Amino acid sequence: MDELISELSLEEKVSLLGGQDFWSLPEIARIGLRSLVMSDGPVGVRGTGWAPEDPSVALPSPTALAATWDPELVERAGRLLGQESRRKGVHLLLAPTVNLHRTPLNGRHFECFSEDPLLTGEIAAAFVTGVQALGVGTTVKHLVGNDFETERMTVDVRISERALREVYLPPFERVVRAGGWGVMSAYNGVNGSPMSSHAELQQRVLKDEWGFDGIVVSDWRAARDTVGAALGGLDIAMPAMQNPWGEALVEAVRAGLVPEEEIDAKVRRVLRLAARVGALGPPPSGEWPELDGSAVAHEVAARSFVLVRNEDFTLPLEPAALTRVAVIGALALDARVLGGGSATVTPPHVISPLEGIGRSLSGVDVAYATGADPRPFLPPARGPEWTGLRVDLAGKYDFAVGEAALRWIGDLPGRLDPADVDGLTIAGTFTPAVDGEHVFAVSGFGTFVLTVGEREVYRGALHVEGTERGELLLSPREHRAAVTLAAGVPVEVILTQIIPAGMAHTVSTTLGHRPPGPDAAEMITEAAALAAGSDVAIVVVGTTEQVESEGFDRTSLALPGTQDELVRRVAAANPRTVVVVNAGAPVLLPWADDVAAVVLTWFPGQEAGAALADVLLGVLEPGGRLPTTWPRRAEDCPVLDVTPQGGVVSYDEGVFVGYRAWQRASREPHYAFGHGLGYTTWSYEALRVVDGTAEITVTNTGAREGREVIQVYVRPAAPDDERPAEWLAGFATVTAHPDESVTARVDLPERTFQTWADGGWHTVAGDYEIVAAHALDDPRLVVSLTVGA
C-alpha cells in the first residue's frame, strides 16, 4: 500500500479524501483504483440516485430491527443490504445508525435502534457483519451525541466522560470490535469541539485506543474546518459541495499546517477500504446465496411487531369465525413504511395493511373506511382514475411513474447531466370517478405551474428565500387548488417545475390529489358505523412525514389529527377493536386500555400489510419486544427536551438514559422496556451462573410453537445513587414446541460489572442479582452472584 501511496502526488492524495460529487471518491486508474461509491442507508440501498426506475428493497425501520432482539435475523437483513449494494454498484453503505433513544422527541428516533447501549451494539454488530460479508463496507453513525435534530449542524452536546464511555460510545466500540470498516462522524459538537474535528474521540479513542483501522467519513457538509478536520482524525470529507479540503488542504500541507504523513495515513485508510470492497485490486470473491428481498423484509417485519396488549386473546383472529372485518384509517390504505430524510428509498412495491388483510381473508367481507387522515399534505396522484402518468425531464428523458411523486439527490433519472435539466413535467390523464370539488396540490420547492384541463390553477414559487436546498428537502411546502370536475370526463393534468441552473441534482416534487369526500366528523361517524356492523375492527393509526423525519424533532408525542377520537369512537362501537400503530417512535395511546389489542408495527417496510395479516391471523407470532420504554404521558419522560440553550444541550442525566432514568425517577411507563406478548406462554424453570455465563431453562407452556426473547438483567444487591438500579446484561432468543424445554446461555463479560472512572474501566466488586426476565417489568428468576475486584 505504501508503494502505491508513494506513486501519488500530494494533489492526487488529497483528491482521495473528498467527494468528487455527492456520493463518490475519484478514481486513479494509474494505480488501479476505481471510484468508491457510497450510498444511504439503514433500511435499503438507494444507490447514487433516487430514481423510481431503479427501486430498492425497503426493510422495516432500524427500531424494528432492534425490536426483533435477534442478531441472527439482523445479520441476514445486513446480507440482503450487502446484496442490494453490490447490485447497485455501491461499495460503502451509510449505515447503521447507533445514536440512542435518549428522548422520544428525536426526529430520527425511528432510525436508531434502542435506548439501551448493549442491545444497540449487538444489533449494530450483526448488521455490519451481514453487510460486510458481501465485501461491502459500512459506516456506523453518527459519532457521537447526534441523539436529536434541533440545530444539529451547530449544537454542542455536553456529555460527561462516564456517560460517553458507558452509554453513548459502547455501540460504536462494539461495531469496531466486530470489524466495522467505517465510521461517520456527526454534525454536532461534543464538549466544545465539532465532531468532524474531534481529535480526542476520533483519533485517540477510536483509532489509537480501540485500534480502528477503517475510515472516518464526515456527515454530509459537516466538515467545515480545513486544518481542524485534517488533524482531528477525519479521513474523508463529503460531499464535493462546500468541501473544506481539496485545494485548501493541499495549501495547508504546503504551509506546514498539516504534516504530509497525516495525509498519507488517511490515504492508507482509504486504499485499505478500497481493497476491502473491491475498488482496488480484485473484486471481493465468495459464494453468496441469493436472498429474496421480499421474504427477508416480510420476516423482519413480523418479528419486529410488538403486541403490547391482547385482552382475552383477541389475537390471533380465527378466519373461519369472521364474516365481516372493518379496516379503518388512512394509513391502512397508505401505510408509512419508512421514515423520512436520508433513510428514504423507493421500494419496488408496498403492500398496504388493507391489501394484506384482504388477500389473506378471501371469502370474508373486508370493508374499508378512512375514518381519519392525519397527513397534512395530499397523497400523490395515483390509482385507477389516473392513466398515462409520465415524467419528462427537460425534453431529454421521459419515463412512466405509478404515482406522481419524484425525489432524488445526486444522479438524475436517465443519468442526465444536471446542467442540462432546467425543468420537469409530471403529466397524466385524470378521469374522475365522482362529480364535485377535486383538490390538487403541488409540493416541493422551485417554481411551478399547474394546469387542470384548460385552466391554470397555480403559478408560483414554494420556497423561502435563503433556505438551503438540502434543508428544503426535509421541510417541503404545499399549495392546493380546488377544481370542480364531472365524473367520467377526462382532463389532462400537467405540473411543470422550473429548476434554477445547476440545481437539478436535488428534486422533491409531488402532484397531490384528493377527491370530494366527507369532512373529518363525517369520516369518523362513517368508520364507527362500519365497525359496529363488523366482527372485528382493525384501526391503523400513526405519524406522518411532517411530524416524524430527519432534519427536525417532534414537538408532541400525540398522534396527529383526529386519530385518537377515531379510535375511541370505533372502540365504543365494537369491543373487538384491534389498533395497529404505524409510527417509528413512541406515540401516546390514551385509549389503549379500552381496546382489545394493540400492535406496534414501527415503519414496517415494503411487505407491511402481508406481515401484518400473518401476525393478526396467527400464521406468524408477533415476535417483537420493546427496544425502548413507551411512555403513557409525555410529561412522565425523564428526558424529553431537545431544545438547545445558547447552542448547547447538556446531557445532565449522565448515564441515566431510557429505563435507567425511568427507574431512578420511580415512574411507571405505559409499556416497559423489553415488553411484548406472543401467542404462547413460557415458564422460566431454572437459572444458574456458571463461569461467567447465565444458563436459563424455559418451557413452552402454551398450545403452539413460539419464540421467546430471554432477557438477562443485572442489579447491584445494594443499590446506590451512582449506578442504575439494573441494566440489560445480555439476551438470547429461543423457539420451542408446546411442552418443550430449552436452555439458553448468555455471557456476562467483565464489562457488565464495570464503570468508567479516572480514565479507565473499574470492576465494582460486590453482590449482584442476576435476573432472567420476560421483560424489565416481568422478572421470572433471580440468583445472587458475588463479583470480586
Would you name the residues annotated as active-site residues? 219
CA 121 – CA 550 distance, rounded (Å): 22
Give the N- to C-terminal CA distance of the chain in Å, as an integer.
45
* Residues in CB range of 106: below 8 A, 6 or more apart: 99, 112, 147, 148, 149, 553, 554, 585, 642
- Residue 138 CB, nearest approach to ligand BGC (Å): 11
Stretch 192-221: interaction string toward ligand BGC, x if CB under 6 A? ---------------------------xx-
- Would you say 244 or 638 has its CB closer to ligand BGC? 244
User: Do residues 329 and 635 make contact, with C-beta atoms less than 8 angstroms apart?
Assistant: no
CA 119 – CA 368 distance, rounded (Å): 39
- Would you say 90 or 94 has its CB closer to ligand BGC? 94
Binders of ligand BGC in range 658-717 (CB under 6 A): none
- Residue 186 CB, nearest approach to ligand BGC (Å): 8
Q: Number of residues in contact with ligand BGC, rule: CB under 6 A?
A: 7
Interface with ligand BGC includes 94 (CB under 6 A)?
Answer: yes
Stretch 50-89: interaction string toward ligand BGC, x if CB under 6 A? ----------------------------------------
CA 772 – CA 779 distance, rounded (Å): 6
Q: How many residues does the chain have?
A: 789
CA 325 – CA 358 distance, rounded (Å): 9
Which residues are bridge partners to 747 per DSSP? 693
- Would you say 552 or 684 has its CB closer to ligand BGC? 552
Binders of ligand BGC in range 350-389 (CB under 6 A): none
- Would you say 147 or 219 has its CB closer to ligand BGC? 219
- Residue 141 CB, nearest approach to ligand BGC (Å): 6
Q: What is the DSSP string of 592-661?
A: GGGSSEEEE--S--TTHHHHHHHHHTTSS------SS-B-SSGGG-SS-----BTTEEE-TTTT--THHH
Binders of ligand BGC in range 309-338 (CB under 6 A): none
- Would you say 441 or 473 has its CB closer to ligand BGC? 473
CA 526 – CA 523 distance, rounded (Å): 5
- Residue 706 CB, nearest approach to ligand BGC (Å): 37
- Would you say 219 or 726 has its CB closer to ligand BGC? 219
User: Do residues 770 and 785 make contact, with C-beta atoms less than 8 angstroms apart?
Assistant: yes
Stretch 404-443: interaction string toward ligand BGC, x if CB under 6 A? ----------------------------------------
- Would you say 65 or 361 has its CB closer to ligand BGC? 65
- Residue 640 CB, nearest approach to ligand BGC (Å): 22
- Residue 707 CB, nearest approach to ligand BGC (Å): 32
The C-alpha torsion from 302 through 64 and 562 to 345, rounded to 10°, is -100
- Residue 219 CB, nearest approach to ligand BGC (Å): 5
- When binding is defined by CB under 6 A, the residue of 132, 226, 342, 699 that contacts ligand BGC is 342
Binders of ligand BGC in range 132-191 (CB under 6 A): 141
- Residue 513 CB, nearest approach to ligand BGC (Å): 30
CA 185 – CA 229 distance, rounded (Å): 11
User: Do residues 152 and 190 make contact, with C-beta atoms less than 8 angstroms apart?
Assistant: no
- Would you say 94 or 528 has its CB closer to ligand BGC? 94
* Residues in CB range of 417: below 8 A, 6 or more apart: none
Binders of ligand BGC in range 600-619 (CB under 6 A): none
Number of H helices and number of E strands within the chain?
18, 35
395 to each of 416, 460, 656, 721, how far by Cα in Å? 11, 22, 58, 68
* Residues in CB range of 244: below 8 A, 6 or more apart: 223, 224, 225, 226, 229, 237
Interface with ligand BGC by CB under 6 A: which residues?
40-41, 94, 141, 219-220, 342
